[in-house]
Amino acid sequence: MIDLAFVRANLALVEEKLRSRGMDPAVALGDFANVDQARREAITQVETLKAQRNRLTEEISKLRREGKDATAQTEQTKALKSQVESLETSAAVADDKLREILQALPNLPQASVPVGKDEHGNREDKVWGERPNFYFPAKPHWELGEALGILDFNRAAKISGSRFVVHFGQGARLERALANFMIDLHTREHGYTEVLPPFMVNSKSLFGTGQLPKFAEDLFHCDDNGNYQPGAYQESDHWLIPTAEVPVTNLFRDETLDESQLPTSFCAYTPCFRSEAGSYGKDVRGMIRQHQFQKVELVKFVRPEDSEAEHEQLTRNAETVLERLGLPYRRMLLCTGDMGFAAAKTYDLEVWLPGQELYREISSCSNFEAFQARRANIRYRPAGAKKSEFLHTLNGSGLAVGRTYLAILENYQQADGTIKVPDVLMPYMNGETVIGRQQGRS
């Protein structure tokens, strides 16, 4: 959420940033200026009337001590009280309206973010690795996985419906090997603390990270009591997490950290659940867009002055996974029109998939600045300071395990349809060097 005082003092800049995101400021901000002005005038009048009432109260006391009639002054105080209550109600209504406007505003892009309407405005910042040059036609991962008997989309559809998959044998081991490799790398070399959070969260948590109320249709809601109402954030409401970013970021909701605790870096391996409500007909083949997938997530809590450098470091941590696995990728700086709602700046890492002859997003690394911290009320107290401040939050996939899995199938495929195991994964694959046809699978 954007700071009210900032919007008030920088309204022209906010309008410009909203336009750069492809939004109409008149629609997004609505009657912000008038509502804010009315609120401030009501508060000022309340203070003025309260001061008058206090003076009258003193005058009434004096008159009564002197045995004089204070009826007129008493009536005045009653009238003032009624006016104050009316103005306070008006200020509260204006407060709610301003909060509603601010909650619906996306984060403001940093100055370094390129202006653009959609993914075509993204900027390629880096390309790493050589694309494999096969002497045979490269196959997509769904053909490779089904032929080897390690992926089964049909049985998953029987069990759960479309956009699910069952892993078998060495395929199941590969998924687990990737997660363990990523967690070991981030905890042993990159300094993250592993955390295993709940896979269900309440509405307040999703509001804190920016998924609610705007993106409710993209989530799976658990109807605990059959009485959920949009915007009514009750502790009894539960949602399946769309990413570990949600529970991990909310670990410190409504808390104030000491500056000495920053930066705090967590990594978490969890399943993720997404309804993919806006992706009907897209990526129906394979594992690209699933309702359930696994991911290793990186989350940082940092001082505001450190967030840009920490964002670069977090992105490098994610890139290291791809480089250790030998997977060609590129880093894209997202433009204003392609960034997520809560992000101030985002790098997408896109892995090369030879079976499809294209790059696919495998990690999105974002700096949210104080946007999530303000929504979730996460503060820190600078050394020697009397007042606390909102810290900055960052997160990124380190990596999406399913997409890394399919990238290995496509980049390490061999002419006979088997998959060579990347060197760094061999210890996690019980020393096996090749993923072959699974025995007993049909």
Q: Does residue 375 carry a catalytic annotation?
A: no
Which one from 20, 205, 307, 364 is the annotated catalytic residue? 364
Residue 322 structure tokens: 């791809």
3-state helix, strand and coil shares in percent for the chain, rounded to the nearest 5: 45, 20, 35
Which one from 39, 163, 360, 403 is the annotated catalytic residue? 403
Q: Does residue 289 carry a catalytic annotation?
A: yes
The residues pairing with 105 across neighbouring beta strands, listed in sequence order, are none
Q: Does residue 112 carry a catalytic annotation?
A: no
Q: Does residue 119 carry a catalytic annotation?
A: no
Which one from 274, 331, 374, 375 is the annotated catalytic residue? 274
The residues pairing with 283 across neighbouring beta strands, listed in sequence order, are none
Q: Is the peptide bond before 399 cis (omega within 30 degrees of 0)?
A: yes
What whole-number distance in Å separates Cα of residue 165 and Cα of residue 145? Answer: 11
Which one from 59, 146, 276, 361 is the annotated catalytic residue? 361
Which one from 176, 289, 324, 437 is the annotated catalytic residue? 289
Q: Does residue 364 carry a catalytic annotation?
A: yes
What whole-number distance in Å separates Cα of residue 253 and Cα of residue 245? Answer: 13
Beta strands in 141-291 (DSSP E): 151-152, 166-167, 193-194, 200-201, 220-222, 238-240, 255-258, 264-273
**Closest-CA residue to 295 (of 200, 191, 199):** 199
- Residues with Cβ within 8 Å of 152's Cβ and at least 6 positions away in sequence, in order, are 146, 165, 166, 168
* Residues designated as active site: 274, 289, 361, 364, 403
